[in-house]
Amino acid sequence: MEDQYKTAAHTLCYHCGEDLPKVKYHAEDKDFCCAGCMAVFKILSANNLCNYYVYNNNPGRQFKNESHLEYLDEPKIIDQLLDYKHESSSIITFYIPAIHCSSCIWLLEHLYKINSAIFSSRIDFLKKQVTISFNHDEISLRKLVETLNQIGYEPLISLQDIVKEHSSSVDKALVLKIAVAGFLMGNVMLFSFPEYFGLSGFEQQFQSLFGWLNLTFSIPAAFYCGRDYFTSAITSLKHRHVNLDTPLALIIAVLFLRTAFEVVFGTGPGFADTLTGLVFLLLMGKWLKQRTYHHISFDRDYRSYFPIAVTTLLNGKEKPVAINEVKIGDRLWIRSGELVPADAILMKGDAWMDMSFVTGESDPVHKVLGEIIYAGGRQTSEAIELEVIKPVSQSYLTGLWNNDNYKNNFEKQNFNDSVAKYFSLGVFLIAFAATGYWLLQNDSHKAWSAFTAVIIVACPCVLALSTPFTLSAILSVFDKKGFYVKNTDAVEELAKCDTLIFDKTGTLTSNENAEIIFSGMITDEEKIIVASLLRNSIHPLSRHIIKALNVDRFYSLSDYQEVVGKGLTAKINGQSIYAGHLSMLPVQVASAGESGVHIVIDHVYKGCFDIRQQWRPGLEQMILKLSRFNLQVLSGDTDKDRWMLDAIFTKNTTISFRQSPHQKLDAVLKLQQGGNKVMMLGDGLNDAGALKQSNFGIALTDNINNFTPGCDAILKGSALNYLPDFIQLSKDGLKIIKTSFAIAIAYNCIGIYFAVQGTLYPLVAAVLMPISTVTIISFTTLATRWFARKNKLI
């Protein structure tokens, strides 16, 4: 692999590793694919930072367009972004999606070499964050971000603060509680061992010491570590509802009380070992459940797509304003490539809006003066002036998130909570029956010990553990295959789904493998002419086409003109040449299709470059495997690909085209009202509403670091084929949980046999609990692996 890399190195860009075009840039005997990559190299070599290239081959990323950073001069926005500010120093944390290797860490932690006003910078690699402390008197925030941009590490500053959201995702208190519980369990076990082995006569003096020590340790175990169980039980009882925490809280209370009584009255050693062990294991299970992926965010909404500020025009002067402060009537100044943050009316300029965020349709839409442009549209041509008619929070697109119908209304009860009710009822019946029996026998001591023992022994601890252990084992199988599920609860939802809805563009088709097709006739000479023209444009389509043309020389051109987003024209060797959108063509062409880049050389129509998206490989087999489910396709696109979909899907699949985001959402809602559990697969912001509404929303992406809308799981495009296996494994997972529940009941029956007789010795309880726990944990782990192998996932 390594050797391969080295031999290939001279055909790759030294900075970013892209294939070198035939005309390449050259500096200090290194080759570069574009001016951007070369510029980064020059900055780094001027600052003596070339080690960047030592740790990894081609560590850089291709340079992107410059962005407008004027808003970073606004004090209000600066204050919003900074973590900390003191006299002359400030600290800020940025999320930088481009961080991907050790070279990135090295370079970003040596920022002080580029600018001495930067004191230090520290990277958190998994979170892709860098924390920079700098002297804000010497370097402004804007300059700092510009410095990062120059070396190819553009921070992502969006309305939804990714940095601050991440930091709150881990429950710190839980980890501390686990530490305390572990400490308590270890010590209590130590002091309980003498009791297990039996104490000889002269050691009896220690019995009460150990008893009191154990009792002391039980207090924090019950009331600090186990506190959440009590609060959760009380709230659920207030709502006349029993969840799994209710019996757990009861057991913790009973264990503690009985330990306290036995120690205080000197009647026995108590159950401190069982209590602390139980609390420790329960907290471990809880931690497994909370664990989530550092580097993936599942709760993104429109705010992470929106910039933090927008340029407004105030008395003809440009002024950056934070998006939250945009009011109705404000004039917005939207440049090429910028996003319209609020519904607005076009006042000035020529608008070619890329509405793919909203509709999924990627061809730009032409808007005329006075027309409403919805939030989420991206301007692709010249700068335009807009007047806001709705604040950001009430725009058409953001309305998707403010919809009240979201699934909170649907009762989400997992297996545990539904079983907990019957479980608690059964335990109480047995406990009261045993107490009643011993009371009738006039043995009040045995009645009390039988009552407490039944409750202790019938601990649904296994129930609380088997679910997180099984499901987190399944999660780790999934994530090795490129399927990242939000949490363990979501896996249960996945298993219940019976209806699957697919989006078309980007989900069934792949954006990465799009191929460039030329329809028409073009000579090699003309190819060079076209490439020479397109070379001057930064439009992604132009770059794609140049790559596809792969010519070895360029001509110089004159009279170059570009209407951003629409087309280019220039004169080459006396020939006038035009490339761009159909509506801009100097000649009338009847046969050509709407989309694509059309070429006209010397007033003769040559043809058109079109991007054809490719269907993801293995699609047909996957659909075949999914035939047990109700399938549906909702596409925002036109029905030009209908014949293809008809060939893949069976006849009873509903296929709808030209679906707006709201229609997609309504379709999901309708199915849910019909009692279906809906899984939605989508990729863009236009599917976001449906993804959120569905019982299990999967966002498809070709690059896991790309932005994905809020969802329950993120699936790599290449792993789509495994979808039927993923669903099957999640169903098997529920089977495992139910089986382990049966095993636990068997253990409980043994325990209850002793308990009802009032003869449960603490040692039996202390041994029974770990044995049943170990059995369950090993059973769930092994069974999950077995099922995963059966489904060919490992």
Binding span for other proteins by CB under 8 A among 17-25, 176-184, 457-465, 604-612: 176-184
Place of tokens 């219940």: 496
Site string for other proteins, 605-624 (x = CB under 8 A): --------------------
Q: Which amino acid is at 134?
A: F
Q: Closest separation between CB of residue 294 and other proteins, Å?
A: 9
H or E element in which residue 232 lies = helix 227-238
Q: Closest separation between CB of residue 268 and other proteins, Å?
A: 20
Of residues 763, 743, 688, 736, the one with CA closest to residue 160: 688
Q: Closest separation between CB of residue 188 and other proteins, Å?
A: 11
Kindly tell me which of 212 and 432 has the beta carbon lying closer to other proteins: 212
Kindly tell me which of 107 and 534 has the beta carbon lying closer to other proteins: 107
Q: At 660, is the secondary structure helix, strand, or coil?
A: coil
Q: Closest separation between CB of residue 472 and other proteins, Å?
A: 19
Q: Closest separation between CB of residue 584 and other proteins, Å?
A: 47
Kindly tell me which of 126 and 314 has the beta carbon lying closer to other proteins: 126
**Count of beta carbons in the 10 Å neighbourhood of residue 106:** 17
Q: Closest separation between CB of residue 224 and other proteins, Å?
A: 12
- Asked if residue 12 lies in contact with residue 58, where contact means CB atoms within 8 angstroms, the answer is yes
Of residues 26, 13, 24, the one with CA closest to residue 535: 24
Binding span for other proteins by CB under 8 A among 183-191, 237-245, 664-672, 712-720: 183-191
Kindly tell me which of 107 and 645 has the beta carbon lying closer to other proteins: 107
Q: Closest separation between CB of residue 26 and other proteins, Å?
A: 13
Kindly tell me which of 106 and 406 has the beta carbon lying closer to other proteins: 106
Kindly tell me which of 92 and 752 has the beta carbon lying closer to other proteins: 92
Does position 707 interact with other proteins (CB under 8 A)? The reply is no
Name the pairing type of β-strands 331-334 and 309-314.
Answer: antiparallel
Q: Closest separation between CB of residue 766 and other proteins, Å?
A: 20
Kindly tell me which of 43 and 237 has the beta carbon lying closer to other proteins: 43
Kindly tell me which of 295 and 789 has the beta carbon lying closer to other proteins: 295
Contacts of 413 (CB under 8 A, 6+ apart): none
Kindly tell me which of 195 and 687 has the beta carbon lying closer to other proteins: 195
Q: Closest separation between CB of residue 177 and other proteins, Å?
A: 11
Of residues 403, 156, 486, the one with CA closest to residue 304: 156
Site string for other proteins, 83-102 (x = CB under 8 A): -------------------x
3-state secondary structure 315-354: CCEEEEEEHHHCCCCCEEEECCCCECCCCEEEEECCEEEE
Q: Which residues, 348 to 387, sit near other proteins by CB under 8 A?
A: none
| Count of chain residues binding other proteins (CB under 8 A) | 34
**Count of beta carbons in the 10 Å neighbourhood of residue 152:** 25
Binding span for other proteins by CB under 8 A among 104-112, 142-150, 505-513, 633-641: 104-112
Residue 577 pairs in a beta bridge with 570, 601
Kindly tell me which of 29 and 524 has the beta carbon lying closer to other proteins: 29
Q: Which amino acid is at 376?
A: G
Q: How far is CA 455 from CA 435, 460, 494, in A?
A: 11, 10, 34
Site string for other proteins, 136-175 (x = CB under 8 A): ------------------------------------x--x
Does position 187 interact with other proteins (CB under 8 A)? The reply is yes
The residue from 83, 100, 106, 707 that contacts other proteins (CB under 8 A) is: 106
Q: How far is CA 634 from CA 46, 538, 665, 730, in A?
A: 53, 33, 10, 25
Q: Could you tell me how far CA 461 lies from the centroid of its own chain?
A: 31
Number of H helices, E strands in the chain: 28, 28
Does position 176 interact with other proteins (CB under 8 A)? The reply is yes
DSSP character at residue 588: -
- Give the span between the Cα atoms of 448 and 438, in whole angstroms: 9
Q: Which residues, 199 to 218, sit near other proteins by CB under 8 A?
A: 202-203, 205-206, 209, 213
Kindly tell me which of 102 and 235 has the beta carbon lying closer to other proteins: 102
Q: Closest separation between CB of residue 131 and other proteins, Å?
A: 10
Does position 124 interact with other proteins (CB under 8 A)? The reply is yes
Kindly tell me which of 102 and 638 has the beta carbon lying closer to other proteins: 102
Kindly tell me which of 179 and 372 has the beta carbon lying closer to other proteins: 179
Rounded to 5°, angle at Cα 289 from 284 and 291: 95
- Give the span between the Cα atoms of 55 and 450, in whole angstroms: 68
- Asked if residue 40 lies in contact with residue 153, where contact means CB atoms within 8 angstroms, the answer is no
Name the pairing type of β-strands 129-135 and 89-95.
Answer: antiparallel
Kindly tell me which of 223 and 410 has the beta carbon lying closer to other proteins: 223
Does position 186 interact with other proteins (CB under 8 A)? The reply is yes
Kindly tell me which of 32 and 423 has the beta carbon lying closer to other proteins: 32
The residue from 24, 68, 127, 142 that contacts other proteins (CB under 8 A) is: 127
Percent of the chain as helix, strand, coil, to the nearest 5: 50, 20, 30
The residue from 3, 29, 87, 552 that contacts other proteins (CB under 8 A) is: 29
The residue from 112, 119, 183, 707 that contacts other proteins (CB under 8 A) is: 183
Site string for other proteins, 213-242 (x = CB under 8 A): x-----------------------------
Place of tokens 């849910």: 672
- Asked if residue 420 lies in contact with residue 244, where contact means CB atoms within 8 angstroms, the answer is yes
Does position 553 interact with other proteins (CB under 8 A)? The reply is no
**For residue 57, what are its two tokens?**
């081959």
Kindly tell me which of 286 and 504 has the beta carbon lying closer to other proteins: 286
Does position 749 interact with other proteins (CB under 8 A)? The reply is no
The alpha carbons of the chain give a radius of gyration, in whole angstroms, of 33
H or E element in which residue 514 lies = strand 509-520
Of residues 231, 243, 292, 196, the one with CA closest to residue 712: 292
Of residues 608, 747, 423, 658, the one with CA closest to residue 667: 658
* Size (the chain), residues: 794
**For residue 700, what are its two tokens?**
């498809």
Binding span for other proteins by CB under 8 A among 118-126, 324-332, 356-364, 639-647: 118-126
Of residues 185, 191, 224, the one with CA closest to residue 206: 191
Q: Closest separation between CB of residue 28 and other proteins, Å?
A: 6
Q: Which residues, 38 to 57, sit near other proteins by CB under 8 A?
A: 45, 48-51, 54-55
Give the interface with other proteins as residue ranges (CB under 8 A).
28-29, 45, 48-51, 54-55, 102, 105-106, 109, 123-127, 172, 175-176, 179-180, 183, 186-187, 190-191, 202-203, 205-206, 209, 213
